[in-house]
Structure 1
């Protein structure tokens, strides 16, 4: 989730409001039509955290693991998100359902 978004990729025009693609050099381009990412050091994890807040998500039930720790760091850093850690996927599902 530390894929860097370059400023040159953010200036590409969009046809449907969102561009989402991975290039061979692992640069991700995601640009919603209403909110542009202006920082050259923005990461995909930060962008996802901001978008979750923008669509009204307040609570996230998570299961920490080796491959998602960086993403969880970005979610924790978002002040409007409440990250609820669970022991396993089953418990996270029950907590979200409750």
Structure 2
């Protein structure tokens, strides 16, 4: 996994995080983008508006880093896999 050292993470601008104010879920590379999607619903203390903004940043980073995103909205995260397992 592409882990950021604390010094490098602290040096990143807020715009390089899915959740800018909280500086959560960096979007520096494809691995980070996939992790941001996987952990999206675990981020606490954010509003739906902040989630909407974070999702847009994730989508932009996914396109930049060549990560395929199946969900159209953050509200779909986890639902497509659960539906596939039931079928």
Which structure carries more strand by proportion? 1
Which structure carries more helix by proportion? 2
TM-score (norm 1): 0.35
